A = this chain, B = another copy of it.
């Protein structure tokens, strides 16, 4: 714990620098475009509003930790800060578009981008369909966030580029597969696991960590970081599923229960179905009785089982990081971060 205290300030200092960078970049863009026409500021504000509304910043945190744990040199700090800020903008883009795909009303405790702009359009009595305008605004705001992320990663070193490219491609493909298996009601734990790994796990922890190590000039840490990241990514996703199934909207700042309402074959549900015939029968129904499924997840023992699985994954992550030959202070820090990720409540 003492050792952790030795490195956490360095990490938090960089996290603060990332916030400054994000808000400074977006404020400059806002000023520039508002001068052309006040309307031009709308998509910039949509992105800036979501970024300012909070979020847990796991992705920048793991990017920074990967860099610092790998002994990233001072000279590369600017590149790292830009890349970490860019990851948060990619995340903002993914959330804005995902909320359209799910028609989700709430994000980070505030109305989602498309919801806000549907209401603006309807309230002003503008021409055309409010939904198309509001969702159109969200599409363009998400696109803009992606463009900004691209701008911030222009200086990525060659060795980090494949990590970045792979992450971005996986996010889109994973999102599509997630939507498609929900629409087709696919009940296949292997597919659900792949979606969870690809869409959330890798992009939340594994890839940001590798990106940081690559920018630090130590891509050879990839193997050890991959084991840690894959295990923790699965734990991250299982906790996400547990929060959506059993959590409290007031704490999460987004709706809970939406996975079940949308027939999402989450990793949680896929794993639970694999060991519980009665649950599988409930999920095979055309209409889902979400309350019955929720109860069965508890009564059938799946919830406890998933908690045990999370515990096991955290243990694997800790063991992997223990073998990475890192500075002991960084080993302690990444171990503590594993616990924070796996046992968060929002």
Contacts and interface: CB of A to CB of B under 8 A. Distances in A.
A185 B127 contact: yes
A176 B140 contact: yes
Contacts of A36: 173, 194
A177 B136 contact: no
For chain A, give the interface size range.
Answer: 35 or more
Contacts of A133: 179, 183
B194 A136 contact: no
A183 B126 contact: yes
Given A133-B183, A136-B101, A263-B127, A43 B161 contact: no
Interface in A1-60: 29, 33, 36-37, 39-40, 42-44
Interface string A139-154: 1111110111011001
Contacts of A141: 176
A154 B147 contact: no
A220 interface: no
Contact of A180 (B42, B147, B176): B42
Contacts of A182: 127-128
Nearest to A129: B103
A125 to B, nearest CB: 10
30 contacts: A29-B169, A36-B173, A36-B194, A37-B191, A39-B176, A39-B180, A39-B181, A40-B177, A43-B173, A43-B176, A93-B143, A97-B139, A97-B143, A100-B136, A101-B136, A121-B183, A127-B184, A128-B182, A133-B179, A135-B135, A136-B179, A137-B179, A140-B172, A140-B176, A141-B176, A147-B165, A147-B168, A150-B150, A150-B168, A151-B165
Question: What 10 pairs between A and B have smallest CB-CB spacing?
Answer: A126-B183, A101-B136, A144-B172, A147-B168, A39-B180, A140-B176, A151-B165, A43-B176, A143-B172, A154-B161
